[in-house]
Structure 1
Amino acid sequence: MAATVALSVDVPETGEVHRPVQPGPVSFALTLSRADLAALLPEGAEAVVSRAALRVKVAQNGESAEVPWQLNAPSTPLPVDGDVALVHTGEVPYVTFGSAGDVDFSVGEFTVELRSATAAPEASAPALATVTCRFEEGESGHLATTHVTDVNEDEPSGSPVTPATPAGGTARAEDEDITVEPLAAEDEDPDYCPVDPPVGEMDASEAPQLPPGDPARVLENPKAPPSCANAAGLANVWKLNGAMIINDPADPALISVITAKRTVIRPTQAPGGYYFRIDSLANLKLPDADSTFLTFGFQPVTAKVSFENGPMTISTGTSGSGPDKIVFSTAYFQQSLRLHDVKVNGTPLDVGGNCRTAKPFKVVLNGGDAYKNVGVGGLLEGEVDIPPFTGCGTGGEDLNPLFTASLSGPGNRIFMNQASTCVPSNPTRSYCPPPPAVLPGTKPAT
């Protein structure tokens, strides 16, 4: 039986000894012909759910270990003929290494269990059929290479490889001296993310869209777990030749995230070519920012800026293949600004309680391939056009022209650096509590 496989996962290019290396959310598509599926399933089957078990090998310095990746596909309708793509998604365990050196991630054989679409996902009923696949001779299962460094040479290196598995799972390396034990859950329900889960509708219109060709399959994941992350940034005001800190790392607010809430995929062999996109929903309630500028080049003005943000859609993915391959990452939301506590040369200026941009404006941030995925984070940047201001002034004084002339217009750059997400429900609970974010243009403290 012939099958086509499309596996998408982001693995960090670098890591540190004794620090988790977390592969990003995984999408694994197995495409079979309808005729082959018909031979495996009961007659009259109209839909199927499936579960994929991948045997992923991690190898470093002559040692290796196997980490199980368990992925699930929702109910997939079965057409009368043609090909059927079973798209499995999910999070996978992180891996921790005890010594420095390059680490190779590769996948060997994998197994897919086909189950009745009417059965509950957690049902213990036996699978209708099990498909075990291996690569053809000459095909490589190599996924990625991570370069692990030892930032503290005085620290004992420990065992060469210590991968972590989900609670209840055990992996054994090819070398019997390397074993992996289940993680112990010291705290069953840690309050690592003290923010409400994000709400609102996703809008991926600013991400690269599906090229002409066959339609893509859209998979909604209503059970995607909530998570959180730190993010810090800078916003330049072009007219004033200055900048202000967004979400000051000294007292940050958390981003609330639901990762991989929607997946859009079209197989490589489909007309129009390969397309894969993961959409995540986020809410970012920023604290007020303090800004100080020289208005018109000589007058010092200080103010607090309140950010009123709509739901954020973070889209990461790949379009095309070969030399035409595009790796993209975008974050898109609508934003309004409100000014208050304004002082001119130290003297308070009453601007009223509703001095704001006349309308919301688009914020589109792009990370290319520097922003790997929501789980790992990275740097995003973009440029916004600040609208005119309205509602500024009291007692009949119209201050709208002052702020419009000083602030409004195009060319205002935004740089936002997101740290890794903490997923409290993940048995490994890597990156919990959420690590701090590094302000763009600075280096982390050592």
Structure 2
Amino acid sequence: MRVASVAGLALLAGLLSGGGSAADESTGPAGFSASCGAEDGDAGTVTAAVGVSVDVPATGEAGRPVQPGPVTLTVTLSRADLAGLLPEGAEAFVSRASLKVMVAQNGDSAEASWELHAPSTLLPADGDVVLVHSGDVPYVTLGSAGDVDFSVKELKIELRSATAEPEKTTPPLTTMTCRLDEGEDGHLATTRVTDGPGTGPSGTPETFPTPAGGSGRAKDKDIAVEPTDAEDEADPDYCPVEPPVGEMDSSKAPQPSPGRPVNVIELPGAFMCANVLGLANVQKLNGAMVVNDPDHPALISVLSTKRISSREADDWEDPEGRGRYLRIDNLANIDLPDADSTFLTFGFQPVTAKVSFETGPMTISIGNIGYDLDAAFSTVYFKQSLRIHDVKVNGTPLDVGNNCRTVKPFEVVLNGGSAYTNVALGGRLDGEVTIPPFSGCGTGGEDLNPLFTAAISGPGNRIFMNQAPTCYPAFPESSYCPPAPAELPGTKPKS
């Protein structure tokens, strides 16, 4: 039995190729209870709920790699228990988990280490803290036929400050080991391995080297074909966009209550990118258009954790913690492609047009006020202008000129609530905008401004956006690289 190491990572390769083959066993999340304690042992042990979700092949061949994954690991602890393991003042952290998995067959066993990562997580005021780790994991090659069992043995979690400068090595906030409680067998999945062409008379497996720079996943090309020089040197640009520029404006996010000064820390930020997809309603036309063409989507570029504003409550004067405040600001840019729109103007006239978006710098603010979980917030703020062109009325072109646009940029404020808790994980954001009047519409002395203003401009225009999890190109093995596709809001069935 051999456990191979992963040389590289394509986290979403299995997900992007479709629903998987018939040989994939979607085990669903396996749940266990565990007891966790810090390495120094001073804080004692705390209770954690551990969930593991992984796709494992239901069958395999001796001598051929069996590839589990990708893996999602959730660890849930109470806020009070986790705070007891962290140094005072810890507000946000990233987590790295090492999950020890026992691989057993025919009385023999080997241990695989599944290294997984969770993005920046805020320490809430109360309730539970859920650390969501993900990643690709090593494949296993078996030398003989027989059922192979995968089971959790133990888990080690290392928490580091999310505000630490990435180029500096800083000690972890805490390192804790979690062991399954008595009565928990840790079983994840079983793979039935049969004799295959890769085994000789003695049952000894052939050697299938992992290509230099390859993924270590059980793809045909990784197993049987040595990579070309071009493949060896390939360094995919997961985020083919420039880092965002501009000034952040967090004025639309909830502000701290009057009181003691708020401590503000400016940071360089971590460059990331993600897919976003949305719908924009035009209230007067009783219709909507898709924002960011799903066939050729533009990526949003993000500098994560550019600024942290925080203030602790005064235990004596404010025992209920109303003065506590935490806000993490992130800077983002996106160059949206033109949107194709089709509406029945005034309820009867079919009109098609292209809409160009001129979008200013975005500020993504995430935080919490006081100790009330309901006071958590997520806000995206930017300014945007619209330009309309390539207009057809009932199939006949209407020349509106090259400068038919809103007279001024309008403000866009989107709120995520509980659906968007972290820029690295993304989520859904909703808002409502007022579209200004139009100017510059028409040619040859024809003034079409009143027509477009009457048909489009006004309040009550809803916007619905979904941001997929971010790719962190500096550390693709611990993020969603290449960037995951985003879902169109409202298309996912309700559970």
1:262 maps to which residue?
307
Please say if residues 364 and 382 of structure 1, whose CA atoms lie closer than 8 Å, have aligned partners that are also in contact. yes
Is 2:489 the counterpart of 1:440?
yes
SS for the counterpart of 1:428 is helix
1:214 maps to which residue?
260
Question: CA 1:295 to 1:427, structure 2 compared with 1: closer, same or farther past 3 Å?
Answer: closer
Question: For this pair of structures, how many residues does the alignment match?
Answer: 341
The alignment's TM-score, normalised by the length of structure 1, stands at 0.64
Is 2:346 the counterpart of 1:296?
yes
Structure 1 position 326, deviation (Å): 1.0
Structure 1 position 155, deviation (Å): 7.5
The separation in 2 between residues aligned to 1:369 and 1:104, in whole angstroms, is: 31
1:167 maps to which residue?
none
The alignment's TM-score, normalised by the length of structure 2, stands at 0.58
Q: How far does the alpha carbon of each residue in 1:200-253 deviate from its partner, in whole angstroms, 9 at most, with x for none? A: 00111111111222222211111x231111000000101000000000211111
**Which of residues 250, 267, 282 in structure 2 aligns to 1:237?**
282
2:410 maps to which residue?
361
Gaps of 5+ in 1: 6-10, 33-51, 73-90, 113-119, 141-149, 158-185
Is 2:65 the counterpart of 1:19?
no
Gaps of 5+ in 2: 1-42, 44-48, 56-68, 75-82, 103-110, 121-130, 139-148, 179-187, 194-231
The separation in 1 between residues aligned to 2:173 and 2:240, in whole angstroms, is: 43
Is 2:428 the counterpart of 1:379?
yes
For residues 99-178 of structure 1, what are the structure 2 equivalents within 5 Å?
122=168
The CA RMSD measured in Å over matched residues stands at 4.7
SS for the counterpart of 1:233 is strand
Q: How far does the alpha carbon of each residue in 1:332-356 deviate from its partner, in whole angstroms, 9 at most, with x for none? A: 1000000001111111111111100
**Which of residues 269, 277, 283 in structure 1 aligns to 2:327?**
277
Question: CA 1:22 to 1:385, structure 2 compared with 1: closer, same or farther past 3 Å?
Answer: farther
SS for the counterpart of 2:469 is coil
1:190 maps to which residue?
236
For residues 293-442 of structure 1, what are the structure 2 equivalents within 5 Å?
293-322=343-372, 325-426=374-475, 428-442=477-491
Question: CA 1:288 to 1:68, structure 2 compared with 1: closer, same or farther past 3 Å?
Answer: closer
Whichever of the two has the greater Rg, that structure is 2
Question: CA 1:55 to 1:298, structure 2 compared with 1: closer, same or farther past 3 Å?
Answer: closer
The separation in 2 between residues aligned to 1:71 and 1:421, in whole angstroms, is: 9
The separation in 1 between residues aligned to 2:152 and 2:257, in whole angstroms, is: 36
SS for the counterpart of 1:381 is strand
Q: How far does the alpha carbon of each residue in 1:388-437 deviate from its partner, in whole angstroms, 9 at most, with x for none? A: 00111111111000000000000100000010111110152521110111
Question: CA 1:363 to 1:269, structure 2 compared with 1: closer, same or farther past 3 Å?
Answer: same
Aligned AA for 2:274? A
Please say if residues 20 and 430 of structure 1, whose CA atoms lie closer than 8 Å, have aligned partners that are also in contact. no
The separation in 1 between residues aligned to 2:137 and 2:233, in whole angstroms, is: 24
The separation in 1 between residues aligned to 2:94 and 2:432, in whole angstroms, is: 43
The separation in 1 between residues aligned to 2:331 and 2:172, in whole angstroms, is: 34
Please say if residues 190 and 424 of structure 1, whose CA atoms lie closer than 8 Å, have aligned partners that are also in contact. no
Question: CA 1:230 to 1:122, structure 2 compared with 1: closer, same or farther past 3 Å?
Answer: closer
Structure 1 position 257, deviation (Å): 0.9
The separation in 2 between residues aligned to 1:349 and 1:131, in whole angstroms, is: 63
Please say if residues 436 and 457 of structure 2, whose CA atoms lie closer than 8 Å, have aligned partners that are also in contact. yes
The separation in 1 between residues aligned to 2:331 and 2:247, in whole angstroms, is: 8
Flag the structure with higher helix content: 2
1:203 maps to which residue?
249
Aligned AA for 1:402? L
Structure 1 position 273, deviation (Å): 3.1
